[in-house]
């Protein structure tokens, strides 16, 4: 398969049918393909509704390969590409779907290659990319996690972001303020605690993202580091990740198809288990259950791609993390 045939196969792929052979061909011909990808990025930047579905597919996969190859030459293009409204049903969301929140932290981390100032400038810019700005913040915190930047550099970035978010109140900045508080707690930047807690009664936080009650509690007992928990993947493999997503989606569809096979009438079960029922004596009483229960908070922390501790057999990110 040559590059032209591979691009045609990728553009014509549908649903969960991942064109693995075609994607592998594109990877082998990366230097030949990138100029074409760059033109697609430029076209999307100029008019985000102008690409065909086939071109959108190439833009999607190509951008993930930029992250896999850590192609730092494309940093400016990537930041410009993601400098636009990224909410549900926008053209950007149409192209990237779940990857807009799941994979942009990895994209920014890998492509920035330690250039946290470029990410910081992106975060405080005036564009409307709410989720992607949060992803860029995650990428900067991850650089601190691996020692690329030190605490003084991270503190300077956080101070700048905080000042910017507070200077221009908006729905987007409320979301970002909540996300930033979350990251500061996770990375034990306790020097910011008084500042954030002092803002808790001013109705500035997005409670759906991270509530003011959580800010006041400032509990890093269950802190989650971005690289350690596999949220950001320095050794990102696009095909492997998308294959896992496709498998998870198929598994989810199969699980949903079984729901209709379960009985709706629970009357017989209740009769058996209720007072005087044939099986009532085998149940533990309420106090026995409470005495032998394990609080959820005492369970070990789990990586996003590890099996869910609930025992479903699914990955944590596709089960109880949602």
Which pLDDT value is given to residue 298?
A: 40
Which pLDDT value is given to residue 246?
A: 84
Which pLDDT value is given to residue 177?
A: 97
Give the Cβ contact number of residue 244 at 10 Å. Answer: 15
Which pLDDT value is given to residue 296?
A: 46
Q: Is 155 exposed, middle or buried (0-12, 13-18, 19+ CB in 10 A)?
A: middle
Give the Cβ contact number of residue 99 at 10 Å. Answer: 20
Structure tokens at 6: 């591979």
Domain range summary for the chain, segments of one domain joined by +: 3-238, 281-322
Which pLDDT value is given to residue 307?
A: 55
Which pLDDT value is given to residue 299?
A: 43
Which pLDDT value is given to residue 26?
A: 96
Which pLDDT value is given to residue 248?
A: 78
The residue to which tokens 């949602």 are assigned: 322
Which pLDDT value is given to residue 154?
A: 98
Per-run averaged pLDDT (10 residues), the chain, 322 residues: 93 83 96 97 97 95 97 97 96 95 97 96 96 98 97 98 95 96 96 95 92 93 92 96 84 59 54 55 53 49 56 56 58
Structure tokens at 234: 């320095």
The structure's pTM equals: 0.79
């Amino acid at each position: 398969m040559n590059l032209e045939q591979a691009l045609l196969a990728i553009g014509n792929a549908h649903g969960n049918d991942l064109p693995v052979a075609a994607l592998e061909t594109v990877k082998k011909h990366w230097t030949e393909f990138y100029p074409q990808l760059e033109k697609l990025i430029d076209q999307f930047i100029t008019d985000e509704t102008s690409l065909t579905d086939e071109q959108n597919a190439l833009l999607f996969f190509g951008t993930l390969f930029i992250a896999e190859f850590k192609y730092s030459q494309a940093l400016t293009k990537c930041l410009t590409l993601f400098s636009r409204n990224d909410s549900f049903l926008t053209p950007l969301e149409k192209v990237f779907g779940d990857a807009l929140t799941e994979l942009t932290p990895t994209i920014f981390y890998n492509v920035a290659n330690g250039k946290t100032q470029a990410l910081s400038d992106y975060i405080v810019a005036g564009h409307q990319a709410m989720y992607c700005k949060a992803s860029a913040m995650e990428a900067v915190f991850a650089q601190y996690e691996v020692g690329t930047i030190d605490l003084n550099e991270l503190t300077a970035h956080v101070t700048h972001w905080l000042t910017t978010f507070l200077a221009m109140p908006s729905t987007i900045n409320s979301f970002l303020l909540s996300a930033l508080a979350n990251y500061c707690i996770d990375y034990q930047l306790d020097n910011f605690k008084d500042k954030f807690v002092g803002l808790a009664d001013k109705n500035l936080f997005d409670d759906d993202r991270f509530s003011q009650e959580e800010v006041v509690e400032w509990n890093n007992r269950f802190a989650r580091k971005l690289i350690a928990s596999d949220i950001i993947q320095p050794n990102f493999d696009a095909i492997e990740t998308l294959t896992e997503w496709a498998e998870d989606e198929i598994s989810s569809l199969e699980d949903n198809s079984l729901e209709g096979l379960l009985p709706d009438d629970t009357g017989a079960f209740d009769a058996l288990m209720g007072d005087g029922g044939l099986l009532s004596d085998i149940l533990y009483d309420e106090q026995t259950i409470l005495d032998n229960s394990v609080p959820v908070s005492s369970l070990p922390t789990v990586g996003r791609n590890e099996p869910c501790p609930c025992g479903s057999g699914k990955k944590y990110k596709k089960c109880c993390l949602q």
